[in-house]
Structure 1
Amino acid sequence: MDFNTYIKQSKKRCEEEYRLEPTEIPTLQIELTEAEMEERKQTFEHALPVIQHFMEKVLYYMDGTPIIVATTDEEGYVIHKFGDESMMEMIHAFGIHNGVRFREKVAGTNSISLSLLHDESIGLVGKDHYHEALHGIACYSAPFHYGEDGRISGTISIMTTVEYESQFHLGLLSSAVDSIERELRLQEKNNKLEILNQIMINSTPIGMIMTDQEGRITDYNAALEKLVEYSMKERLAKGDTKTYVIKPYVDHVLWTGEKLENKEVTLSFDDGEREKIFQLDVLPIYDGDEVIGAFAQLRDMTNYYELQEKLIESEKLSTLGKFSAGLAHEIRNPLTSIIGLTQLLKETNAQNKYLEIITSELDRMKNLVNQFVLLGKPSSVQPAPCNLHDLLEETIELMKSSARLQDVSITFESNQKDLVMTIDEAKIKQAFINFIKNAFESMENGGEVQVRLVHHPGSNKVEVTIEDEGEGMDPDEVSNIGTLFYTSKENGLGMGLSISLEIIKAHHGTVDFNSEKGRGTKVELCFPV
């Protein structure tokens, strides 16, 4: 349907349905309160600056032509207008202000109402208007769509006098509205991406920093403030925008354009009384071939390093225990024989006094040796509630550094993350470490160790399996597992598994070894829940 048909139908409605007099001057009334007007403006908060920007360009190309630009919402309410002052006075005479509503039954045939009705760009020149008072003006309106639903959001209109009317005005307006819609859609996508980006950045425990070309902080996330324990907002407000301890790394990246990864950085707190260790990555930000800034991220590794130190300390104590227990075993037997012989000599030898001294000193040595023996035995169990999944996960994390050194990969699977058991956490952890370490050492050329935690609903038992791809064992070797001082290792003392089995036994658990020479070993630990 063409414009002429739209105009004829509108004029017919004005005459027959609305009973409007064409000789009367149409006067529009403001139908919105200030609060209602402000609410509608808020809906166009992001759109109006874009509309103004593009329509000012239109006015620039139409320099010398008196034009008014008006924006309405989907109901025809005027939200915003700007343009030529003389034209502004004229439309005010017709009662056209922000807040008035263009309705056909009041304003007669007009481009805004027709554009909203037919969702098309419409132009009315002179006598196309129903009221004679408007025959001196040319009005052009184009609908625009602002939102995902595709519905009309309102219209953008230009108004001038008939002397400046041009057939190109409607095309120019339609082209401008297309550009406005594209810009609004792009801004909407960017806003969504920005929201998603902020959600991702602020939900991670990793501290993030953005800098400009000079190394000044331009943005950061909430996790960073938590890690460094001070308010970045306050520092930036004071103009304190340097990156401090990471500045040398940031400067290097800005200067060379090369990324830095896994750098260790230490920050001091409480006047040097406390330290945190971070792992730092710094990446350059490019605009084409030019470095325009840097992106840095900090990961708190303090707990990781503390756990590593505990593991090292645990291994040292374990080594000491093995040494002392082995030493005690080797010394205690000959000591017993010597003591027995001195007792026999005392019955016949005249110098009983010296033999008594020897016996006394040997008894003292035996007592010392017996104390060494205690170092190699598991102490009494001290049970407490413990999440078995978390304990296994922590133990595996501790063992990963050893795994890497031995070219071993370790995986963990669990079907129960909230399984709380009453166990001696330290003892069970010691046993897990020993079983996993044995799995590592069974694979001279590397391989994979799989750790699984399985608890079936309704079952009163939980199973932990540790499976390797090592050399495996023959039936004789399996039968000797747990025999004190029995070992297949060249430098082993044969005590680690014995201690671990005692720990499991003390927790009323069982251990099964499924192994085949050349096929690896699977250790199955079963605990009552």
Structure 2
Amino acid sequence: MAWNGRLQPWFDRANFVIKPSLKTRLVLMSLFVAALPIALVSFMLEHEGQETLTAEKTDKLFALTHILDEELGPGGFDGLLADLPSGTSDRAAAVRYLNGKLRRITDEVAHADPGVGVGYYSRKLDAIISYGPSEQYGGTVGQSITAGHPGREVLDTGNPKIAYGSMVRGQVLNAMLPIKRHGEVTGYIWANEFTEAVERQKDAIREAVGYGVVAGLLLALVATFFTSRGLTNDVNLIIRSLDQMKADLRVTVPPMKNELGDIGNAINRMAQDLLDARSLTENVLSSVADGIIAVDLEGNVLMFNPAAEDLYNVAGKDVIGRSYQELFEERKGMASVMLDTLKTGRSHIGENLEIASLGSDRKITASSSVLRNGEGQWIGAVVVLKDVSERDRLMGQVMRADRLAALGELTAGIAHEIRNPLTSIRGFMQYLSENNTVEEWREYAPLIIRQVDNLNHIIEGLLVFGRPWPPRIARVQLNRLVEEMAFLTKGKSRARIDLDLGDDVPVIDADGEALKQVLLNLLINALQAMGDEDSGVVTVSTRRKTDEVMIAVKDNGVGLPDKFKGKVFDPFFSTKPAGTGLGLAMVLRIVDAHQGTITFESKEGVGTTVTILLPVARKSIEETVS
């Protein structure tokens, strides 16, 4: 018997799951798992760093504007212009005067923080008053800002503003503070720094974060590598053990730690269970008396138990893995059942076969079906071969014994039925032999004739029962026949006969006269079972049952005790004092001749139901009653 082939798919599935590069997948997965949070953290750090840098620059620049605002004094530009010498009231002179007052302040602030530019702008004069450091930006004094300059928004709204962009100095981060005196915006103060310097600081943050990300990924890679190496070593050990289990289930996975150790223990337990199951199944298959053969989808032999070896007179080891059809096609009938199932998927139950084996003819019954795996997939076919030679021989002996017993009962019944009239005739003749008067002959002669008629009636019944006769098949309207027989028997009892006839009962192939005899016997028996009681009811029903028709005769009479139910169709069995016991026996023969079936159900004190099923069309009109 080949078991490794049946276990192979399970091992293949296990290897399919494990064989792809586990180490590579673990490294990639770990890198992904590590890189995602590192990337998110680095992005957040960079974003937060840039936001912090921007906020720090903004706070510093606005702090410088506030210093310049305090240095301007409470009077603002107007307070300083109050000291302007009389006679110099033009715009240029005012700008030069204010510049002289404020240039020192803006230069000091600018020089204190290299890279920063600061200054004042007058709304009334619409001009830059001072821009420090003056040695670089003094030439801008007196210029007006453009219409789109962010300073215009500060002058109009009176709200501080921080802006990136190209301004008088170039690409700068510019903090602008409105100059408010007596509730009026008289100008604004700015402090700015080149964005290039800001970007350099942001790049420094990005670089630091980048180094951190790389370092984190390298650490994760190293940790993953060493972890995965140990893990894959354990997994490879499990794989090697599984490969060895294909050939020998006694191989075990070595002990390991952690969850892989639990997996190894589970595999070992499963292998032991498979080994136990295989041993049990092999023992069962080896011990069973029926031959069992299994083939795969290609028709190659998977299993060949000892009983099959005996039937085929061949060793199982010589046929495992070889083509079943090539090996046994010369064995008449043996290959067709299973190979037909393998080809069509159709099961066979109890097919009778005969093979020549070991010099004697053996009768075999074969039952085949599709072979499926645990997932329900079709993987082959299996056949069970049962040697019924001895069973048939014993059944033949039993049947002969039954026939002899039935013949004995029939003989005893005939002897009993004939003995009573013969005894009466002998008694009458003995009496008449001693009395020679004509009157006595005239008195007893009719009695003797009646007894002879009884004998003749019994003999005629036996002749009819025992003589084969061909049914005269014709097309019969069953419902019409039932109505006719019910009408003929109505007057034989005070009981009522009800008809429940199906509308769809078809015309059938049958011997109408024989069926009339069947119905007449059943109706008379039903009426006699109820006597002359007015409450008696006989119901005759007809129905169509696919390819058959049903006739049921039901009464509510006295019923039959259980001890008599098995004898109702036996010849000469009758519960009626004057009955011959041939009526139901003849009914059974007629129903059998019509290829039908009859059932008898009775309950004492409740009633009896006789049900007959007849085919609508006979299989062969030429058949005769045997």
The two structures share one fold, judged by TM-score above 0.5: no
Bigger CA radius of gyration: 2
- TM-score (normalizing by structure 1): 0.32
Bigger helix share: 2
- TM-score (normalizing by structure 2): 0.28
